[in-house]
Structure 1
Amino acid sequence: MRYRDPSDQCRNLYRFIRLVLGDEVSDREIARRWGMDEKNLRELKKGVHVVPKLSRLADLADMLGVHRYYVLEAASGVPAEKVYEILTRNLLEDQLRAVDSAFGGLPPLEKERERVLTALQRAVLEAYRTLEPEELFLRVSRELKKFEFESHVFFLDQESGCATIRHSSFHPRLLHMAEAVTGLSLGQFRFPVERVPTFRSVVEARRPVYLPDASVLLYEILADRQLRRFVDRMKRLFRILEVVLVPVTARGQVAGVLATGRHGKLSDAYMPEMRSFSEQLSCSLENALLFKQVKDSEERLRSLFEHLPEGVFECDGSGRIVQINPAGADVLGLAGPEAAVGRPIDTFQLLSPNARVVRKEVRKSRDTLVQNVVGVALKADGTPFLADVTFRTRFDRAGAASSTEGVFRDISQRAV
């Protein structure tokens, strides 16, 4: 379940803040720590405020003392209670140390099982700690390596139906030997998933598959008979007797497969844990891709904002400037955008260059769009100039102004 409505997402984010901080901290104190106007926090609480931007969510994560991942999850609509449960469950370093210290008193089989489960828990924790899709598998593989797992990451190209090796935990010298034996460049090697029945079954079923003999997979991948005779040699070289293929899904499709083994110490008895491992890795990848999409979108909008030739500004509900682009600062005669932040927009008369026209437009709609109003505005030093202004004022459910965004330009030269 994920809340889709912005109002529900706002209320959900506030609930997460409360779950982390408890009820002892007042809204005023939360707003102060976060650097937010208390009125805006109350609107967030009621669901009448827009979900904050990534930079503000990052500030919130720092204020709460949690990883940004959890704040992003709550802001994107994952129920606050679920996010908080994951947060508390993943704070298990002390528990893991307790498990490690208890190994000495366990029978060999129990001790081995606890070690495998601890490895999977730590790997999942590493996956949750990163919001970079490209780093996720690398960090998971490195964590598993600490517990004697060897792993290979295969990425699937949905258009071509082929798989490629993106990462291997093998020592570079060992990889070089493998390339010398097979005559293949592992970094460029591709194979059709359709040709490898084991891979195809993982992709179609979206469930982990256990192979007691890794050579079965190698035979399928290395379809060339001339290469197959090297399989036995590779098997002795890599010293892996078994492999578990763990599918990782994103956006409704299998995006990759993590192939991992532990020198003959894994069995099909671990498949329930491997299925859970697969689901949690998929969840982490999905969130990392979502974060990247939002981040890329914000970067594109920021680039557009920074390079537009017209002035662009945004104000909060009280009429103070939140941000302005370089072109706007230049028109107003300011040293830079930062010189405008926090100043009342009324200082420059940008919202009332022609008061009669503005009042007429405002009466038409609560979500007011005032287009191409021409009138006299002021620069920072009080110098008047002829401005062409278009702006929109948004109102909350209570009828109070919540924000204003606008575009303006200096048309003094045209008038002449």
Structure 2
Amino acid sequence: MKTFTIETLGCKVNEYESAFYTSLLEEHGYRQAKSDEKADVIIINTCTVTNTAAAKSRRKISRLKRENPHAFVVVVGCYAQVVEQEERDSLQADLLIGASHKNELVDLIEKAQNTHEPHQKDFVENSRDLTEFESMPIGVFEGQHRAFLKIQDGCNQFCTYCQIPLARGFERSQIPSEVVSSAQKLAQNGHLEIVLTGIHTGRYHFRETDLCDLLELLLEQTPEQVCYRLSSIEITEVNDRILDLMAKNPRILPHLHIPLQAGDNRTLKRMNRPYTVEEFIARIEEIRAKIPNISISTDVICGFVQESDDEFETTKKTIEACQFSFLHVFPYSRRKGTAADRMTGFVDGNIAKERTDQLLELSKTLRQRDMERFMHTQVLIEREDVHHPNWYLGYTSQYHPATIYSEVPLKGRLNVKIDKIENGRYVVSHEAENETI
């Protein structure tokens, strides 16, 4: 039996796609290699969202080829899609797959191996030619109550800092009936929470069906115990229909991740973001008015081109005004082919790092503040903590991490009373007070 291993870099969508590759390979008779075992096939699922991610992809490919000279090496994903042909050739991978043909991965591996040709097989097409959503259904996420379901790919927004439209192509969405079918299979296999994910999830649209229509279909056609979470959505896409549905149906969990990216109008304009600070704050206030128990997290980029000290200070004030539950913070990374790459006035990397550190510290304060709102809450158990017997790990409905002590196995959802908050995590050590749902 042939063995394989998958190395994944980057976002949740990449993690989903790697899970699909694992499922696909196992269906075709491959076995995942053990940690101390050399694999016959090595798949590197790459990322290019930042220079660091691209560099990690290159280093990972080089190291794995050097350490596994006899393995069949597959490079797949965003980095493979955007690099110049000369650089793709220099990777010396046995197979290259870009933004398409991902659901053909096993067939392409076996065809390439059977031809015995010495040169690599390159399946990287122009991302602008991609028009169809490639279905990648996953029936089960082993050992997890939470599952992911990719419903959308690509992006049309073209923020000036972002290479993703070049790496993933234009927006395309999965057929609603296929989404529902996948969700039903996940529910049958015991998953109690399904996270709808994509590159631009809020722009899900298949013919007459938009994201809110899709959510209504899922709620109607899956069991009552299955809840849904949106992985990320833009502020301009959080419409009243979605909010009304969230407000009346607790199966759509009260957490939204809404990227801000910058909290100053001058910076936002250079980023080509489709809102002002005033519009963003006003909409956040409307969301909280409709759903008081909601937590809202965000993404922020520090040190974007020409970002002044004054602009950064305004961004900090905006973040405080929005009262986010936590921040994902990234220093700006110059990316070839983007509009920002042609601008002038790049911020020194040390300054960008200092600003990033400041916001990461602010994020800790914000998370503590938001967590203190929910000292009685609901937790979905993920798994037992392998390093600490009798302790279980999970996430609350508002997507805060929790650790729960129990001398009997825990699974599913629990209503819990929190004992304390420690290092950004809820701690529950009195199991007798907790109620299993």
| TM-score bucket of the superposed structures, by smaller chain | under 0.3
Structure with greater Cα Rg: 1
| TM score, norm. by length of structure 1 | 0.24
| TM score, norm. by length of structure 2 | 0.23
